[in-house]
Structure 1
Amino acid sequence: MAGRHAGGVMSGAAPGTGRGPLALLPPALIVGGVLANVVGPQPYTGLPLLAAAPLAACIVLTFRGAVVIAALSVIASVAVDLGLARPAAALLVDVADVLVISLIGLWLKRVMDSRDRTLTLTRDIAEAAQLAVLPQPPARVGPLLVATRYQGAHEGARIGGDFFAVQNTPYGVRLMMGDVRGHGLPAVSAMSVVVGAFRENAHHAPDLRELARRLDTAAERAESEEGEGFSEEFTTALLAQIPPDGDRVALLSRGHLPPYLVADGRVAPLIRSTPGTPLGAGLPGPDDAETDTFPLPPGASLLLTTDGVTEARDRRGVFYDPATGLAGRSFDEPQELVDTVVREVTAWSGGRLHDDMAVLAVTRPGGPPGPTAT
């Protein structure tokens, strides 16, 4: 969360701060304007440069810095006209040109700074909401090393319909990866309901089928209470359970993508049973989703993702395949695996994501060293 890995959150620079060498541009324009007026082939050659200096300052300096540059531009314009003994009318026109453009630039600067502060506050609130709904799990839960990442498709996005959860329970470590159909506040509301229900029931449900049933009940109850707008949302979810000894993983899918087993340079999707219906879909009859169990060798990692990973396309329209993209590499830490997935998906998409993605990886420590990730 790009400074925080779980959410892909990066804190931007404060609005209006100086931007390195660009901060020298406004005074350079003033100097250039003065020289052009004094030695230029035509009168008033430097006036556009003097007028441009305050506008450039509004882009690269703070508001106070821009005011100083505007004042210096006006003073420079007056000094040049007086030094060259130009008529008073010409002096007033020059000063009016520089002053009017300076005032317009400073007004725009004030508006942009206000919007930047509002955006920064909004991002901080969104990050606090994400921390509340999708808290970063500890680096170790039970016998497993854990890493997560949420990456929004749009710059500044902190939270959406993709989610994950990790809980240490009497039955072992239970994991959930899910994706709510839709976007915006209804998707966030549906996601928060399912995550909250998972936190409450992961400790008490005796098996994954019962846990899925309780999550489904919570999602349907929320739909009936929220009414129109919420009722069109449904949630795909993948539930996993790894016992305290960490030697196997039980999986149950409610319409979600299968996870991947990453071990000894090989990456294989764990598919056996047909996925059940999504949570909150409201379909009649019992859900027949089955629980499948797979071995989890020492040193192996379990990778769970949302469709923001598997539906990422390159320029030819080809989908990204983790089984191919990660093959031949070994990852000692789950964070290394998560970061590699996010980096590769971003590169595969040409540097721009078209959908949010959540990535969760857990690693059972131990096992022989393998080839390093590149």
Structure 2
Amino acid sequence: MGKWSRLLPAVLLLIAVLIDLSTPRTVSAAALYAAAILSAAPLLSLRGTVLTGVFALLVDWMMFRYFGYRRSAIAMSELIMVATVTVIAGFLNRVLYHRKVQLESVRDIAAAVQRAVLPQPPDRIGSLRFAARYEAARADAQIGGDLYVVVDTPFGVRCVIGDVRGKGMGAVKAVAVGIGTFREAALHEPTLTGLLERLEQAVVLEAQQSGNLTELEGFVTGVLVEFPRRGNEVRLVNRGHPAPVLILGDMVRYVEPGRRSLPLGLGALDAGPECVDTVTFPEGASLLLYTDGLTEARDETGTFYDPIGTCTGHRHAGPDALLDALIADHFRHSGGRRTDDMALLAITRT
């Protein structure tokens, strides 16, 4: 809540006094006195809530004295009501405070889980600079079904970005399995196709162990990327994922796969060979990897967001600046509405 909301109890008390002074003696603003005290419970501290109640009680008593009702039964009844509401507001304030403490504890645990399951990639490996962002669809969520990993291996720098089908703790568990498998296999598998086979097996096994016995119940879309230790190129394998964006100076384009493949977990339905695409990646080039939460955002007319527009005609100082500009433009396009998690990974060769 904004800081101005904390003034609501004082505003309600002021309105109550104005009503008492500007209306006939038979009209009472008792409801506003009670409303002011109750509104203080979620907005102020316990001390502020009690002081609001004491001040309301004092002002109400002064109004009765001003109109000559100081010792009447009506005055005593209303004053007792205001005092009772003050006690109730104090109790509610404590209940809300303890719930706030519990919620903050849960958020701290969620943040710790995110750092453990989805750690930030290194800022730099050799000539490559990295930046990553994770934007959850829910403001109170920390992690969901999107993932990204960067690993420095004997075969070069390898990255993956993926989107797990499903939501909730099942998706988080699948993310943890996928990241763990990729980190281990990336260090030992000499080829991207071998790495893909390991990931395919892990996704299928996780789906079976989770009770999703049919092949269409659990899958992961993803892009595997490899920057060899020698040469200025990048190799990519796309398994049913949105095409990465390649930025080469003034040229910005999608890196479409040479062959469309099914997502991980559905490999048994795809009899074709894996397609490894090789693209030139010289000094100054940038590669943007993202999940569909970026491109599925719509504006008021229903138009989907296209990251090419943000990346075209702009020179960004590095991957962090690129992602900051992209997130800001995405926010303007969607009006702040977000229906899906969004993971972004940007790589620049310096």
Aligned to 2:53: 70
**Per-residue deviation at 1:34?**
4.5
Q: Taking structure 1 as reference, are residues 75 and 176 closer, same or farther at Cα in structure 2, changes over 3 Å only?
A: same
Q: Distance in 2 between matches of 1:229 and 1:131?
A: 31
Q: Do structure 1's residue 153 and structure 2's residue 137 form an aligned pair?
A: yes
Alignment of 1:313-328 (within 5 A): 313-328=298-313
Query: What secondary structure sits across from 1:283 in the alignment?
Result: helix
Structure 1 residue aligned with 2:39, among 56, 69, 75?
56
- Alpha-carbon displacement from aligned partner over 1:259-307 (angstroms, at most 9, x marks no partner): 1111213211112411322112262565522111110121110000111
Letter in 2 for 1:55: L
**Per-residue deviation at 1:331?**
1.5
Q: Taking structure 1 as reference, are residues 323 and 29 closer, same or farther at Cα in structure 2, changes over 3 Å only?
A: closer
CA contact (8 A) 2:261 2:270 kept: no
Q: CA RMSD in A?
A: 2.4
Aligned to 2:164: 180
* Bigger mean CA offset, 76-85 vs 182-191: 76-85
* Bigger mean CA offset, 51-60 vs 39-48: 39-48
Q: How many residues align?
A: 348
Aligned to 2:249: 264
Query: What secondary structure sits across from 1:346 in the alignment?
Result: helix
**Per-residue deviation at 1:213?**
0.6
Structure 2 residue aligned with 1:238, among 223, 226, 239?
223
- Alpha-carbon displacement from aligned partner over 1:192-215 (angstroms, at most 9, x marks no partner): 111110011111110111111111
Scaled by the length of structure 2, what TM-score is found?
0.90
Structure with greater helix share of residues = 2
**Per-residue deviation at 1:319?**
1.4
Q: Taking structure 1 as reference, are residues 304 and 31 closer, same or farther at Cα in structure 2, changes over 3 Å only?
A: closer
Q: Distance in 1 between matches of 2:82 and 2:51?
A: 13
Scaled by the length of structure 1, what TM-score is found?
0.85
Q: Taking structure 1 as reference, are residues 315 and 72 closer, same or farther at Cα in structure 2, changes over 3 Å only?
A: same
Aligned to 1:336: 321
Alignment of 1:328-367 (within 5 A): 328-365=313-350
**Per-residue deviation at 1:360?**
0.3
Alignment of 1:96-245 (within 5 A): 96-228=80-212, 232-245=217-230
Q: Do structure 1's residue 279 and structure 2's residue 267 form an aligned pair?
A: no
Aligned to 2:279: 294
Q: Taking structure 1 as reference, are residues 253 and 21 closer, same or farther at Cα in structure 2, changes over 3 Å only?
A: closer
Q: Distance in 1 between matches of 2:314 and 2:189?
A: 37
- Alpha-carbon displacement from aligned partner over 1:140-197 (angstroms, at most 9, x marks no partner): 1232110000111111121111110001111111010100111111111111111110
Q: Distance in 1 between matches of 2:256 and 2:205?
A: 30
Q: Which sections of structure 1, spanning at least 5 residues, go unmatched?
A: 1-12, 14-18, 366-374
Letter in 2 for 1:137: P
Q: Distance in 2 between matches of 1:267 and 1:80?
A: 72
- Alpha-carbon displacement from aligned partner over 1:296-333 (angstroms, at most 9, x marks no partner): 12111000011111222222222111223421112121
Letter in 2 for 1:168: D
Q: Which sections of structure 2, spanning at least 5 residues, go unmatched?
A: none
Q: Distance in 1 between matches of 2:269 and 2:124?
A: 40
Q: Taking structure 1 as reference, are residues 284 and 37 closer, same or farther at Cα in structure 2, changes over 3 Å only?
A: closer
